[in-house]
Amino acid sequence: MSESPVVRSAFSVVEAESAVQVHGGEVAGGVVTGLGDGDWLDLGLVDFAGGPAHQVYSLVAAGSSGSGLVRYRLDSVSGPVLGEFSIADTGGWSSFKQVPANAGGGSGVHRLFVTFESGYRGDFVSLDRLQLAPRGAPVPDLAQVTQPSPTPTPSPSQSTPTATPTPTPSQPTPTPSPSQSTPTASPTPSQTSTSPSPSPTPSSGPGEWNLVWSDEFDGESGAAPDADKWTAEQGGWGWGNQEWQYYTDSRENSAQSGDGDLKITARQGGAGQQCWYGPCSHTSARLVTKGKFEQQYGRVEARIKLPEGQGIWPAFWMLGSDFPETAWPNSGEIDIMENIGKEPGTAYGNIHGPGYSGCCGIVGSTTLPDGEKLADAFHRFAIEWDENSITWFLDDQPFHRATKSDIPAGTQWVFDHEFFILLNVAVGGSWPGYPDATTQFPQSMTVDYVRVYASDDPGPAVKPARERIEAEDYDAQSGVRAEASEDTDAGRNIGWIANGDWAQYRRVDFGQDAPSSLRMRLANGSGLTGNVEVRLDAPDGELIATMPAAPTGGWQTWETAQANLTQPVTGEHDVYLVASGAPSGDDFININWFRFTD
């Protein structure tokens, strides 16, 4: 009779070297080192009897110049992602740091795997130990270093400053967390008035905008936020960023003013609550529309006067409606506005997704001129979002844009579903730092309104069939990745394409006169010969052309191929490029562009 497999609690501390199987790394000195792209650990069976995981903490070190992605998966090395984080140089291979990441899911008994992905050869991380945690659980100290508690911040009138505590070093995957990379250059916005007033209808973007949801905060003085629109989340577990505040549903922290606005107020004092570091030092509020209003695409705008001060972190942002059932950042995050108190004139806009989160989101920023502060006046913060891009505005001036082609090769654009809205003011955290003797409390973020618009645009732009269609501008895909191209026009191409993989291009207009042939720019470094099938309206739809894809001598050795259409096609159709015919399941073709010709 064989022994029953060992099943441990999903929320116990796990030493990496105790893995049931180590694939690709090496156990040395009580840690697993030499982990790189394609490596994985099998941590055995775990029981989520305590409920789903909400956080995962990892003690890791990295000393390479590159970065990579660590993913926790259920049941197999390609199973559902429970949580993930990006890791770059921590200061050396012996410099271990605790990295928190959001997690979502888990019930019953599962096998737990850790996978490592970078897209390049070479080691990028060592793993010492890890721990999953349910919602509300205290933050563990995997390095066995005492986590300092915050010291109450003195008021500016006190003569002796109190030292600001330093959290345990980490490279977190925060929520929200703007990238600390160099911001994109942007135009200088004009300052708006200091008193609340209606905002004009948005002036940019496709089609006409129609207001579909708003909160004008016109309740009585002291009234709670509208419960039909907002939920006040509560807790003091650090929110993935080692923040100090306890979020409450108290009117002390979120209330309508009676003058047509909402105030979210961060206050000193913990209201008797316990936080991850001990008794809470501050309170604030975090309001969400999850389950009450969620939107895919459109314009999302708020008129806000920001708080200020070292360690104050206001945000107006969005999360995918499938969070936390789908782990962050797979669910997607759009930061419409974030500001950190030590940069009082700068607004950040960012997106986070799988493989481009935390430190490495797609970030932009803009700064007011002449030393002006965002706390001096109301400003309009907005995004305009469609299926291919997101554009950020401050006072109707665009300052940042993120598109599908901006995300790293091999990652997924996850901004194609509904998102909900969040408003919050955090106190402290791994990005803004912590309050000091200069920080005054209370600090309020005053919100004049939040408005959401939809466009009457009929959908994706029409793609003329006889004009060149860039392969990376697909509307949907299966198994396809985009990468930088070395073709004569540079740009990007799609690759990693094997039998059965496909890319979709919506609304291709063939016109009234049917084209007779198809041209396609191809590169094939596999040595295999296959085909690219061109189908209408579905991956298994009507076949209108078969493009042979023979070896070209390299993955970036490009040739233009041509094939005749097998039947006339007119009007608008969704076009699918489907890989087929290769003798094995290996990747065999890259595609740069295609177009139909007479």
pLDDT digits (tens, 9 = 90+) for 475-514: 888 888 788 889 988 788 999 899 999 999 988 999 999 9
Asked if residues 462 and 349 have their Cβ atoms less than 8 Å apart, the reply is no
Average pLDDT value for the chain: 84
CA dist 29 and 126 (Å) reads 11
Within a domain: 114: yes
Within a domain: 164: no
pLDDT, position 27: 83
Strands (E), 435-588: 443-455, 463-464, 469-470, 476-478, 481-484, 492-497, 502-509, 517-524, 530-536, 542-549, 554-564, 572-580
Tokens encoding 121: 């050869």
User: Among this protein's residues, is 338 annotated catalytic?
Assistant: yes
More reliable by pLDDT, 49 or 266: 266
Within a domain: 262: no
pLDDT digits (tens, 9 = 90+) for 95-147: 888 988 888 778 888 999 999 988 766 788 999 999 998 877 778 888 863 33
Within a domain: 224: no
**Same domain? 368 vs 486:** no
**Same domain? 36 vs 111:** yes
CA dist 426 and 281 (Å) reads 12
| % of the chain surpassing 70 pLDDT | 87
Bridge-based pairing state of the strands 7-9 and 40-47? parallel
CA dist 329 and 411 (Å) reads 12
pLDDT digits (tens, 9 = 90+) for 526-535: 999 999 999 9
Asked if residues 570 and 510 have their Cβ atoms less than 8 Å apart, the reply is yes
**Same domain? 556 vs 490:** yes
Number of domains in the chain: 3
Domain of 95, in residue numbers: 7-134
Instruction: Provide mean pLDDT across the span 533-553.
Output: 94
- List the single range of 14-23, 59-68, 249-258, 331-340 with lowest mean pLDDT: 59-68
pLDDT digits (tens, 9 = 90+) for 24-64: 888 887 899 889 888 899 998 888 887 888 889 999 998 87
pLDDT at 223 over 80: yes
More reliable by pLDDT, 163 or 575: 575
pLDDT at 589 over 50: yes
| % of the chain surpassing 90 pLDDT | 54
**Same domain? 467 vs 449:** no
**Same domain? 105 vs 48:** yes
Give the residue from 134, 162, 178 where a domain finishes: 134
Within a domain: 260: no
Asked if residues 318 and 297 have their Cβ atoms less than 8 Å apart, the reply is no
Give the residue from 455, 474, 495 where a domain finishes: 455
Count the neighbouring beta carbons within 10 Å of the beta carbon of residue 208: 12
pLDDT, position 476: 80
**Same domain? 401 vs 477:** no
Q: What sign has the CA pseudo-torsion 91, 95, 100, 103?
A: positive
Q: Which of 301, 333, 470, 472 is catalytic?
A: 333
**Same domain? 473 vs 562:** yes
**Same domain? 478 vs 505:** yes
CATH of the domain at 405: 2.60.120.200
The model's confidence at residue 252, banded by pLDDT at 50, 70 and 90, is: very high
Q: Which of 338, 384, 472, 533 is catalytic?
A: 338
Asked if residues 303 and 382 have their Cβ atoms less than 8 Å apart, the reply is no
**Same domain? 337 vs 432:** yes
User: Among this protein's residues, is 216 annotated catalytic?
Assistant: no
Tokens encoding 431: 């990005």
Asked if residues 97 and 61 have their Cβ atoms less than 8 Å apart, the reply is yes
The model's confidence at residue 4, banded by pLDDT at 50, 70 and 90, is: very low
- List the single range of 133-137, 331-335, 356-360, 371-375 with lowest mean pLDDT: 133-137
Distances in whole angstroms, Cα of residue 121 to Cα of each of 35, 286, 533 = 10, 42, 32
**Same domain? 111 vs 83:** yes
Instruction: Provide mean pLDDT across the span 436-452.
Output: 97
CA dist 565 and 563 (Å) reads 7
pLDDT at 564 over 90: yes
Strands (E), 257-370: 262-268, 274-275, 278-279, 282-284, 286-288, 298-305, 312-320, 333-338, 346-352, 362-367
DSSP 369: S
**Same domain? 93 vs 120:** yes
CA dist 56 and 542 (Å) reads 46
Within a domain: 382: yes
Asked if residues 379 and 195 have their Cβ atoms less than 8 Å apart, the reply is no
Within a domain: 242: no
Q: Which residues pair with 330 in a beta bridge?
A: none
Give the residue from 406, 437, 455 where a domain finishes: 455
Q: Which residues pair with 308 in a beta bridge?
A: none
By CB neighbour count within 10 A (0-12 exposed, 13-18 middle, 19+ buried), where does 551 fall?
middle
Instruction: Provide mean pLDDT across the span 161-171.
Output: 32
Residues sharing a CB contact under 8 Å with residue 529, sequence separation 6 or more, in sequence order: 548, 549, 550, 551, 581, 582, 583, 588
pLDDT, position 5: 56
**Same domain? 421 vs 528:** no
Within a domain: 182: no
CATH of the domain at 525: 2.60.120.260
